[in-house]
Amino acid sequence: MPHLLHLDSSARRSSFSRELSARYAAGWTGTRTYRDLAADPVPVIGEAWTEICDALLRNGITDPAHYADVVETPGQKKAWAIVEPLLDELLEADVVLIGTPMYNFSIPAALKAWIDQVTFPRMSLRGKQFVIAGARGGTYAEGTPRAPFDHHERYLRDFIAGHYDVDDVRFVHAELTNALVDPHLAARDGEREASREAALKAI
């Protein structure tokens, strides 16, 4: 039975990215693991984590089943205790669903902390699918004035494809979400709602 790893990273309990990811998850027919990275943050990596990475490189270990072989010191064991359950969840998944808003042109720190914890040298996740349910306060779609500032989709696409060697990465975004609260965008609320409806349909 296919397994879904569902991650949310919005600091808002009621958010557009959460709405989109929940819509996708509601249609999932296999098993599912859920992790709320905002409500239960993953700690940032520390020096012991970097020592594990160095040892993996030094020993040419690329198989996650053997990552723990290099964990030796008390500090490394403490770091590995954080990594291991997160990594197990990722490796178990057939599909990784990530709900993520754009914060300051990029992804939330909570999501970046998770990525850092579960990513190791020359680590391939080929064969998995990633689905990104995004939300952005403005519009960063191709051809718009702010498209060059999109380090949200671009970062995730480049990282997942470039580091994880995954060629199946799908993005669905709700744009102009700030039209609900920003007077400067109030005239574009119709576009916001149209984008939301299109995203819900696409997801």
- What token pair was written down for 34? 């859920």
**Dihedral (CA of 17, 120, 157, 140) sign:** positive
Q: Could you tell me the pTM of the whole model?
A: 0.95
Residue 124 marked ligand-binding? no
What is the pLDDT averaged over residues 150-155?
96
Residue 1 marked ligand-binding? no
Q: Residue 187: what are its φ and ψ, rounded to 5°? A: -70, -10
- By DSSP bridging, strand 169-174 and strand 95-101 are unpaired
Residue 171 marked ligand-binding? no
Convert the chain into a string of H (helix), E (strand) and C (coil).
Answer: CCEEEEEECCCCCCCHHHHHHHHHHHCCCCEEEEEECCCCCCCCCCHHHHHHHHHHHHHCCCCHHHHHHHCCCHHHHHHHHHHHHHHHHHHHCCEEEEEEECECCECCHHHHHHHHHHCCCCCCCCCCEEEEEEECCCCCCCCCCCHHHCCCHHHHHHHHHHCCCCCCEEEEEECCHHHHCCHHHHHHHHHHHHHHHHHHHHC
What is the pLDDT averaged over residues 96-108?
97
Q: Which of 113, 145, 95 is nearest to 45 (CA)?
A: 113
- What token pair was written down for 74? 């008390």
Q: Cβ neighbours of residue 38 under 8 Å, at least 6 residues apart? A: 8, 9, 10, 11, 108, 110
Residue 178 marked ligand-binding? no
Whether the per-residue pLDDT at 194 is higher than 90: the answer is yes
Residue 103 marked ligand-binding? yes
Residue 34 marked ligand-binding? no
For residue 191, what pLDDT is reported?
A: 93
Whether the per-residue pLDDT at 141 is higher than 90: the answer is no
Average pLDDT, the chain: 96
Class of domain 3-41+93-202: alpha beta
Residue 24 marked ligand-binding? no
Whether the per-residue pLDDT at 142 is higher than 90: the answer is no
Q: Which of 45, 84, 52 is nearest to 70 (CA)?
A: 52
Whether the per-residue pLDDT at 17 is higher than 90: the answer is yes
- In our burial notation (b when 16+ CB lie closer than 10 A, e otherwise), range 162-183 reads ebbebeebeebbbbbbbbeeee
